[in-house]
């Protein structure tokens, strides 16, 4: 009987992730409660996207801030391994979604990159369709 109780507790404690990252890890929305999420939609052929990466890496270190990326190419979806290779190439230190953000936040993918969505507690607060600086990211954190 004790075996079954332990097994039942184990199964109930293993909640399934609500979304997945390209590194194979998963997460739940509750992991980001009360945090500002910068959802950065990027492409490897986009010079402004590449310029932003160090700024997103730095702001991701701030308390109550999480940067989540999503590689977006209008014509195809790259395999996780390819996205991870690109992230290594460009020294991207934040997580990148494998799960399509359209399915998570009911948003439309942008017509252009870079685009950054500001999300807090599941609500999209803003969409920014121009390249961001570290100063602008800090300003957005302060005002959201």
Q: Where are the beta strands (DSSP E) in 8-136?
A: 19-20, 26-27, 36-42, 65-71, 95-96, 115-120, 123-128
Pick the residue with more confidence: 13 or 77? 77
Which pLDDT belongs to residue 75? 67
140: how many CB neighbours lie within 10 A of its CB?
19
CATH class label, 17-143: alpha beta
* pLDDT tens track for 69-86: 999 876 677 999 999 999
User: Quick one: DSSP state of residue 50?
Assistant: H
The answer to whether 39 and 116 have CB atoms below 8 angstroms apart is yes
Domain ranges of the chain: 17-143
pLDDT band at 137 (very low <50, low <70, confident <90, very high): very high
* pLDDT tens track for 98-132: 999 988 998 887 888 999 999 999 999 999 999 99
């Amino acid at each position: 009987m004790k075996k079954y109780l332990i097994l039942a507790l184990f199964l109930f404690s293993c909640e399934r992730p609500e979304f997945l990252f390209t590194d194979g890890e998963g997460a739940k929305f509750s992991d980001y409660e009360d945090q500002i999420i910068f959802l950065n939609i990027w492409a490897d052929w986009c010079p402004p996207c590449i310029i932003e990466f160090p700024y997103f890496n730095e702001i991701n270190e701030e308390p109550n801030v999480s940067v989540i990326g999503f590689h977006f190419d209008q014509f195809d979806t790259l395999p996780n391994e390819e996205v991870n290779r690109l992230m290594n190439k460009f020294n991207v230190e934040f997580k990148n979604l494998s799960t399509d953000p359209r399915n998570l936040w009911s948003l439309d993918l942008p017509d252009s990159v870079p685009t950054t969505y500001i999300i807090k507690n599941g609500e999209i607060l803003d969409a920014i369709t121009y390249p961001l600086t570290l100063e602008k990211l800090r300003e957005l954190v302060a005002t959201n």
